Structures are given as C-alpha cells and as structure tokens.
Structure 1
Amino acid sequence: MDARRTRKRLWRWRKNPLRRRDDVVEAWVLVGTWAAVVVGGTLTGVVTAHAADGVFEAQRAERHAVRAVLVTDARRPTAAVEGTGGQVVGKVRWTDADGASHTRRTLVDPGQKAGSRITVWTDSRGELAAEPPSATEAAMEAALLGAAAAGACSGLVVGAGAVARWRLDRRRLDRWGREWDLVGPEWGHKTG
C-alpha cells in the first residue's frame, strides 16, 4: 500500500484545518465499534458455547437409559404428525432403581406390539426425558449457539455504531445548513 493511500485512510487523525470535531468522534466510534465486535463478539460466543456445553454435559450426567415394556400396540399412524419423526404415542412401563413401577405415554416407533422391549430415558426424578445429545452432537450444537450469539452481539454493536454515525451525519448536515443560511445570501446573484 502506498503512502498516499495510508494518509487518505487516516485523514481523520491528522492535523487538518478542515477536520471537524465530529470527524474525530466518528473515527473513535468506528474504532470502538470494531473493537467491540471483535472482543465482545468473541467473548459472547465463547461464553455461550461454554454454557451450552455445560448444560448438555449435565443432561448426559443426569439422564440414563432404562429398559421399558410397551403396554399397548403402537399402531401405524394414519397421517404424519409434524415434529414426531414418524413416531406414535404409546404407553410404556418401567421399573426404576428404587423398584417403583411407572407407566407413562411416550413416542415409540410405529408397528411395535405390546410386550416389546424398548429403551426410554429418565431424569434424576425418574420422569421420562428426551435422550441427551452425544458429546459430538453437544459440541456441534454448542458451537452453533456460540456462533449465533457472537453474530447477534456483533449485529447489535454494528447497529449501535451505525445509529451513532447517522446522528453525527445529521448533526453535520444541520450545521452545514445553518452556515449556508448565513453565507448563501452573500453569494447569490440578483438579476433584474
């Protein structure tokens, strides 16, 4: 990059009789915005990913697989229900570690007969729970959540910087308009 280009990019920082106070403020707004995007976005992403990974790890530690028996036949669905992954509601029974028997309804694969053995997941209270994500799935989801949080934080910071620059532009235009109102009539040529 040649010296003229560098000087042109850094014009807001140089001594210049045409440089206004608002130009320096705008330069600092830009520097602050980019610093907040880099530092704040990264920090937000890392903290979010770490927190999500902790939640997933707690789920893997708390939930455990239990062998259950299907109490009723799992009929084939007559129409696909969105969000069930092709599964149907079936009644299952299992015995927890304390020897207590539980019967609940949960999603099972269709076409299974009563008496079929299936695996269900329970939480620390013995209630049915979703299967926890594997370590790989949890790492991928935590990374996606961290990236989304970093993007959201960066978007907010860039938006705030854009609003600040817009207000500075409005203020410059208003000042220019007031100055032109004072000087403009002296430059006009009157004909007639």
Structure 2
Amino acid sequence: MTRTSPMTVKRVRLWRWGHNPLKRHSDVVEAWIVLVTWALALLGGVLAGVVAAQATDSAFAVRRAQVHAVSAVLTDDAAKTPSGGSGYDNGRVWAAVRWTDTVGTVHTGQTKIFPGSPVGSRLTVWADGTGRIVSPPPSVTGATLQVVLTGLLVAPLAGATVWAGGRLIRTRLLQRRLAEWEKEWEQVGPEWRKRSGGRG
C-alpha cells in the first residue's frame, strides 16, 4: 500500500515583483504601497521623533531664557505643618518672601518652602521678567530626559499612523480586487461549470 504525503503549499516571497502569469496590475500597486508604507513609517517616524524632540528642547530653552533665579528672604515664619492637599508638594507650605532685583526694585511674593523655616531664612526662587515668582525650569538632566522620552514616544506613534494609513489603502485595494474577481467569475463560471459537467 502506497502512502501518499499531504500536499504542501510553497510560499513564494516577493512574488509580486517577479514574473507571474497570475499577477495583476493591482498586485504591483499593492507591492509598491507596502514598500512605500514601510519606508514612510520608518523614516517618517524617525523624523517626527527628531522634530518633536527638537521642539521640546527649544521650548525648554525659551523657558530658561524667560526666568532667572533670585536670592530671597523669608518675611514670616513658615507654618510648622502643611495643610491637607494633593500631596504633590513634598509636604511644603506657602510662605511670603522678599527680594531685590538688579536695579534695586523690591519685590514680594509667595512660594512653597519646607515647614518650620524661620523668618529671615534665605532661599532661591525663580522669577520672570515682570518680577512674578514662577516654577523653576527643569534641570539640564530633567530636560534632556524629557526631550529623549518625547522623541521615543512620538516616533513609534507617527510610524504606526503611517502604517495604519497604508493598511487602510491595502484593504480598500483588496476589496476592489475581490469585486473584480467576482465580476470575472460571473462571466467565466457558467462556462467552466458547463465544461466540467460535460466531462463527468
């Protein structure tokens, strides 16, 4: 008794690029769509990540240029215990401070400090061009980390967006191809069934 082996299907890679009698124009178009989609996804993702990182770095640079550190004096004793809050201030409390700018103008404001600091304590605060106390800019290390993370986050998102667009185009092309096959089968099918039935 002869044992027959199951039929195996050999997958031919890059068949859309070679000579194939069954290859249609839509197959060539799809091959180019795949190639262009991957190229744009990779290059576009990298470019978008670089642009986003540069934009973030520029924003931090502008922020650092708009503020400056000043030496201030605590004008009141700070509260000994922080009031209930969101917990994002590391237990710090609001306190009044005073400082003098480079032209001799005295400024006052409120800033967050650790509880229990006595009046007269010196501390560094950040002020903008109008003399208003603002939050400190990120450190060089913190800014660099945020720039890198921004680039790493934007790059794959941009690439995935391009890839999804290419996938959508390929899906539409497949639907169109199936419709063409169905239309052709409506013309060829009856004749093929007629001949097949005649052989039986």
TM-score w.r.t. length of structure 1: 0.82
Report the count of equivalent residues.
Answer: 185
SS at 2:72 equivalent:
strand
1:178 equivalent to 2:183? Answer yes
Structure with bigger gyration radius: 2
1:88 aligns with 2:107: no
1:16 aligns with 2:20: yes
Moved more, 32-41 or 73-82: 73-82
- Is 1:129 aligned to 2:146, yes or no? no
Residue 36 of structure 1: how far off its partner (Å) = 0.8
| Superimposed CA distance per residue, residues 85-139 of structure 1 (whole angstroms, 9 cap, x where no aligned partner) | 3322222222211221222222222232333222101123322222222222222
Match among 36, 39, 45 for residue 35 of structure 1: 39
Determine if contact 2:78/2:94 at 8 Å carries over to the other structure: yes
* Cα distance in 1 for residues equivalent to 2:45 and 2:126: 36
| Structure 1 residues 185 and 113, CA gap change in structure 2 (3 angstroms) | farther
Residue number among 119, 142, 145 corresponding to 1:114 in the alignment: 119
Say yes or no: does 1:140 pair with 2:148: no
Identity %: 45
Contact 2:48 2:158 in 1 (8 A): yes
Q: Deviations over 1:139-163 (max 9, x none)?
A: 2211111122212211210111111
Amino acid at match of 1:60: R
* TM-score, normalised via structure 2 length: 0.79
- Partners in 2 of 1:15 and 1:138 — Cα distance? 54
Give, in whole Å, the separation in 2 of the partners of 1:177 and 1:141: 54
Root-mean-square deviation over aligned CA pairs: 2.5
Q: Report the Cα distance in structure 2 between the residues aligned to 1:67 and 1:144, rounded to whole angstroms.
A: 33
Q: CA–CA distance in 2 between the matches of 1:111 and 1:183? A: 91
Greater alpha carbon shift after TM alignment, 106-115 vs 14-23: 106-115
Gap runs ≥5 in structure 1:
none
CA contact (8 A) 2:110 2:133 kept: no
Alpha-carbon distance in structure 2 between the residues aligned to 1:111 and 1:178: 84
Work out whether residues 83 and 93 of structure 2, in 8 Å CA contact, stay in contact via their aligned partners in 1: no
For residue 46 of structure 1, what is the amino acid of its counterpart? V
**CA deviations over 1:42-92 (Å, ceiling 9, x no partner):** 222222222322232333344221111223333222424243333222222
The answer for the alignment partner of 1:49 in structure 2 is: 53
Counterpart selection for 1:99 from 104, 108, 128 = 104
Mapped to 1, the partners of 2:63 and 2:176 lie a distance apart of: 54
1:162 to 147, 151, 167: 167
Task: Tell me the residue number matched to 2:73.
Answer: 69
